[in-house]
């Protein structure tokens, strides 16, 4: 047996190898408590309450639920100045966007204004983000329109439709608040970034397509949201296209896009883009008023009722036959709204270096929507575009939301008649311009270069939404994302390790070209927790590694395999199937005359092996702290064996070692 070509620093192994420790046993209740804490309270929200006096605890508790009382005491005039500027800026965006998105949901336009009045006030009290601007969003609006529209026609039964919209909002709020209270906020994390990029892009495309109705001044339009239905609907009535409307729409769209382009190039000019929708509305309204274009095919908003939000708590229809639709709509839109709001809140918090408790935010969103459903508002969240404007306008605290709400209130009380002549086509232009920003093709390219599977998920969501429906796209994308996790778990990577020259380090041969295999020893690394879903696979895969290695050694006439070392550093957890698997692998190796050696089993693994009495089966002396020490021991044995071979006849000693293995 020649080991001359392989230089191993034997001197390292003069010292005793280190023992693998079994973590001290924990009482069941304690470990359960720890698991629950890590699962549901990873951010340890009650840390600040520890060791405080009861009165202080009460104040902290109130401040915990209403962060407003926490920062209000530190509020000052310079903050107020910044917040007023930011608040007015977002109000100028909120008013036209609110009206547009309400149209998208087939709801009366005035609801868009109502929804920018009460919910921002609730959020200002309960929310912990300083930058989030509350309002309605296009995707959720579209979803409400399509999901409720599937069972009730908004034009034929407007009252019922409105009731269902409020009921759906109520359930969305209840869902959001419950997720937060039950600390289940991590469910939102299952909407991956790739899913959201694809889904948002698809939804934006669909919303843009819907705007063809407004741009072309069509009166009849398909109820479907998919590309095929919309294009068929548009091109089947080319004779009804209204050029006046189209010209107006394209002009305003051009104006809005130029404004946005300028703001993107010079972030300091953010207000150009922020004010553009309002100026479009004003310009459009004045134009229609002067030319009386409403009589020439340009549709206008018409009468908007003056006054604040009517109370609608009695309108929630829990007894309706469409209750299940309302609940479903509430759940789907609630989750999507949550995902957007939380992501937006987190990214700005990251930017300004403060913390956001996702679960607390969910409670705030939930309460805001429950309160909204009582006061004529439909689903609101923290839209990205509006929050970005808020941030750019220099907001300091949630007071900017209060300022916006006051501005909207003034509009509701005194200015609604001004919107009478606002052409719908301007609203369509505003929506399209906002939506184009959501089609993030650069991110899709980034996903392609970085991770092909994420790209597939993203594209599936996009095409699912565009060719199917918003729900189909979402379901496909979430299913694919989950499938990916399950695939990863059921097919973990295994790789052979080699020795990195001049060190005691062993690393994957695929990654480190200079890593050298050790003669007579196969070192396998398992790169995932071992579970029922992968234990059969791993057993087969380990055997195949051994088969392939033995084939290779045979064909290259090298010394035969003697030891198989499993490097378990990456095995973070194991279940009973995994433990059984180790026992089986041990048996297979024994039968083939190979020694199974374990390197660096983690706490969970060694603990369960101990409980299952597997340590005795494998042999305490065959479990090492590092791959290096395991290889050292194997080499030591190989040398001893080699010397023994010199003394006795080879075949006999070979047999002996085989018998040893079978004990």
| Residue found by looking up tokens 């959501």 in the block | 438
**Distance in angstroms (rounded) separating the CA atoms of residues 464 and 459:** 8
CB of 468 to a copy of itself, least distance (A): 22
Query: Could you please report the per-residue DSSP string of 455-514?
Result: HHHHHHHHHIIIII-HHHHHHHHHHHHHHHHHHHHHS--EEEEEEPTTSS-EEETTT-TT
As measured in angstroms, the least distance from the Cβ of 266 to a copy of itself is 24
Provide, rounded to whole angstroms, the least separation between the CB of residue 375 and a copy of itself: 32
- Single residue of 489, 553, 617, 637 touching a copy of itself by CB under 8 A: 489
**From CA 560, how far away is CA 563, in angstroms rounded?**
10
- 284 near 422, Cβ under 8 Å? yes
Q: Which of 71, 532, 636, 641 touches a copy of itself by CB under 8 A? A: 532
Rounded Cα–Cα distance for residues 194 and 442 (Å): 12
Instruction: State the minimum distance, in angstroms, from the CB of residue 572 to a copy of itself.
Output: 3
Q: Which of 2, 4, 11, 15 binds a copy of itself (CB under 8 A)?
A: 15
Instruction: Tell me the H-state helices in 491-602.
Output: 532-555, 576-591
Q: Which stretch binds a copy of itself (CB under 8 A): 110-118, 134-142, 316-324, 524-532?
A: 524-532
Our finding on whether 456 is near a copy of itself (CB under 8 A) is no
Which window, 163-171, 314-322, 498-506, 635-643, contacts a copy of itself (CB under 8 A)? Answer: 498-506
223 touching a copy of itself, by CB under 8 A: no
Contact between 661 and a copy of itself by CB under 8 A: the answer reads no
Which of 579, 581, 576, 624 is closest to 599 using CA atoms?
Answer: 624
Place of tokens 């200079």: 514
| 229 forms part of the interface with a copy of itself (CB under 8 A) | no
Contact 592, 585 (CB under 8 A): no
Least distance in angstroms from the C-beta of 300 to a copy of itself = 45
Q: How far is CA 31 from CA 26, 38, 47, 579, in A?
A: 6, 10, 19, 20
State how far the Cα of 633 lies from the Cα of 590, in Å rounded to an integer: 18
Window 17-56: residues binding a copy of itself (CB under 8 A): 18, 21-24, 28, 32, 38-39, 42-44
The one segment of 108-116, 258-266, 390-398, 587-595 that binds a copy of itself by CB under 8 A: 587-595
From CA 540, how far away is CA 536, in angstroms rounded?
A: 6
Contacts for 537 with CB less than 8 Å, ≥ 6 apart: 490, 491, 492
Q: Is 552 in the site for a copy of itself (CB under 8 A)?
A: no
- Sheet of 623-624, strand order: 506-508, 494-499, 521-526, 563-567, 595-599, 623-624
Q: How many residues bind a copy of itself (CB under 8 A)?
A: 97
- Only one of the segments 136-144, 167-175, 405-413, 481-489 lies at the binding site for a copy of itself (rule: CB under 8 A); that segment is 481-489
Taking the least distance from each CB to a copy of itself, the nearer of 221 and 512 is: 512
Which C-beta is closer to a copy of itself: that of 429 or that of 535? 535
Least distance in angstroms from the C-beta of 586 to a copy of itself: 11
Touching a copy of itself, residues 178-197 (CB under 8 A):
186, 189-195
Is the CB of 469 or the CB of 481 nearer to a copy of itself?
A: 481
- Which of 251, 509 has the CB closer to a copy of itself? 509
Our finding on whether 580 is near a copy of itself (CB under 8 A) is: yes
Residues 630-659 that bind a copy of itself (CB under 8 A): none
Considering the complex, state which of residue 17 and residue 149 has its C-beta at the smaller distance from a copy of itself: 17
Verify binding: residue 476, a copy of itself, rule CB under 8 A. no
Rg (CA), the chain: 33
Stretch that binds a copy of itself, among 134-142, 246-254, 407-415, 450-458 (CB under 8 A): 450-458
d(CA 547, CA 532): 24
The residue with tokens 């006999």 is 652
Shortest Å, Cβ 140 to a copy of itself: 21
The two three-digit tokens of residue 115, written as one number: 């929804």
Closest CB 4 distance from a copy of itself, rounded Å = 24
Q: Considering beta carbons, is residue 246 or 543 the nearer one to a copy of itself?
A: 543
- Shortest Cβ distance from residue 613 to a copy of itself (Å)? 10
Nearest partner of 425 among 240, 230, 213, judged by Cα:
213
Q: What is residue 566's three-state secondary structure?
A: strand
Name the residue nearer to a copy of itself (CB basis): 471 or 584. 584
SS3 assignment, position 236: coil
Interface of this chain with a copy of itself, residues 329 to 388, rule: CB under 8 A: 346, 350, 353, 355, 358
Rounded CA-CA distance 390/392 in Å is 6
Residue from 534, 561, 595, 598 touching a copy of itself (CB under 8 A): that is 534
Stretch that binds a copy of itself, among 82-90, 105-113, 424-432, 583-591 (CB under 8 A): 583-591
SS3 state at 124: helix
- Locate 185 and state its tokens: 């906020």
Selected binder of a copy of itself within 445, 450, 479, 483 (CB under 8 A): 450
Asked if 242 touches a copy of itself (CB under 8 A), the answer is no
Cα-Cα end-to-end distance for the chain: 25
Closest CA to 104 of 55, 139, 65: 139
Given a contact cutoff of 8 angstroms between Cβ atoms, the answer to whether 400 and 86 are in contact is yes
- Among the residue ranges 170-178, 261-269, 599-607, 654-662, the one whose residues contact a copy of itself (CB under 8 A): 599-607
We find the least distance from the C-beta atom of residue 585 to a copy of itself, in angstroms, to be 10
Residues 6 or more apart whose Cβ sits within 8 Å of residue 122: 364, 367, 368, 371, 372
Q: Is 296 in the site for a copy of itself (CB under 8 A)?
A: no
């Amino acid at each position: 047996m020649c080991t001359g070509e392989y230089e191993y620093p034997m001197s390292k192994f003069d010292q005793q190898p280190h023992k693998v420790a079994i973590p001290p046993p924990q009482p069941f209740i304690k470990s359960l408590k720890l698991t629950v804490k890590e699962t549901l309270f990873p951010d340890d929200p009650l840390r600040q309450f520890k060791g405080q006096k009861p009165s202080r605890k009460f104040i902290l508790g109130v401040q915990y639920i209403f962060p407003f009382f926490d920062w209000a005491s530190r509020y000052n005039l310079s903050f107020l100045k910044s917040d007023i500027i930011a608040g007015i800026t977002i109000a100028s965006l909120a008013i036209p966007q609110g009206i547009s998105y309400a149209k998208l949901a087939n709801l009366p336009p005035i609801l868009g204004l109502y929804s920018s009045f009460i919910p921002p006030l609730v959020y200002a009290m309960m929310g912990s983000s300083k930058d989030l601007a509350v309002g309605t969003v296009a995707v959720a609006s579209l979803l409400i329109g399509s999901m409720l529209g599937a069972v009730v026609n908004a034009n034929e039964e407007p009252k019922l439709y409105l009731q269902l919209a409020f009921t759906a909002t109520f359930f969305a709020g209840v869902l959001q608040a419950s997720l937060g209270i039950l600390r289940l906020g991590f469910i939102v994390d299952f909407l991956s970034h790739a899913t959201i990029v694809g889904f948002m892009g698809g939804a934006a495309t669909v919303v843009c397509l819907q705007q063809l109705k407004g741009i072309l001044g069509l009166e009849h339009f398909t109820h479907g949201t998919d590309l095929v239905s919309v294009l068929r609907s548009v091109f089947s009535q080319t004779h009804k296209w209204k050029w006046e409307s189209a010209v107006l729409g394209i002009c305003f769209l051009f104006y809005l896009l130029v404004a946005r382009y300028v703001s993107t190039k010079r972030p300091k000019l953010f207000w150009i883009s922020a004010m553009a929708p309002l100026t479009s509305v004003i310009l459009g309204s004045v134009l229609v008023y002067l030319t009386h274009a409403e009589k020439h095919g340009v549709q206008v908003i018409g009468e908007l009722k003056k006054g604040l939000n009517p109370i609608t708590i009695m309108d929630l229809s829990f007894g309706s036959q469409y209750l299940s639709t309302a609940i479903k709509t509430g759940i789907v839109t609630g989750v999507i709204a949550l995902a957007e709001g939380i992501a937006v809140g987190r990214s700005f918090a990251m930017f300004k270096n403060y913390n956001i408790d996702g679960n607390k935010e969910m409670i705030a969103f939930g309460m805001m929507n429950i309160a909204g459903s009582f006061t004529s508002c439909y689903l609101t969240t923290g839209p990205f575009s509006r929050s970005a404007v808020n941030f750019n306008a220099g907001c300091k605290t949630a007071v900017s939301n209060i300022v916006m709400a006051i501005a909207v209130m003034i509009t509701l009380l005194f200015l609604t008649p001004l919107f009478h002549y606002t052409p719908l086509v301007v609203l369509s232009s505003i929506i399209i311009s906002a939506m184009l920003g959501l089609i993030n093709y650069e991110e899709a390219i980034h996903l392609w270069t970085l991770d092909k599977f994420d790209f597939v998920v993203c594209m599936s969501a996009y095409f699912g939404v565009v060719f199917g429906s918003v729900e189909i796209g979402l379901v496909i994308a979430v299913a694919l994302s989950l499938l990916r996790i399950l695939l990863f778990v059921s097919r973990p990577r295994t790789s052979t390790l080699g020795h990195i020259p001049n060190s005691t380090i062993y690393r994957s041969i695929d990654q480190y070209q200079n890593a050298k295999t050790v003669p007579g020893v196969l070192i396998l690394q398992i790169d995932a927790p071992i579970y029922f879903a992968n234990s059969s696979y791993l057993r087969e895969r380990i055997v195949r590694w051994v088969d392939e290695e033995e084939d290779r050694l045979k064909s290259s006439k090298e010394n035969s395999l003697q030891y198989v070392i499993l490097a378990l550093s990456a095995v973070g957890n194991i279940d009973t199937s995994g433990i059984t698997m180790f026992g089986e692998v041990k048996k297979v190796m024994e039968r083939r005359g190979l020694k199974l050696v374990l390197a660096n089993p983690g706490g969970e693994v060694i603990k369960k092996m101990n409980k299952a009495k597997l340590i005795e089966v494998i042999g305490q002396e065959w479990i090492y702290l590092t791959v290096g020490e395991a290889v050292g021991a194997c080499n030591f044995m190989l040398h001893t064996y080699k010397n023994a071979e010199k003394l006795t006849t080879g075949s006999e000693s070979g047999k002996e070692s085989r018998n040893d293995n079978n004990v």
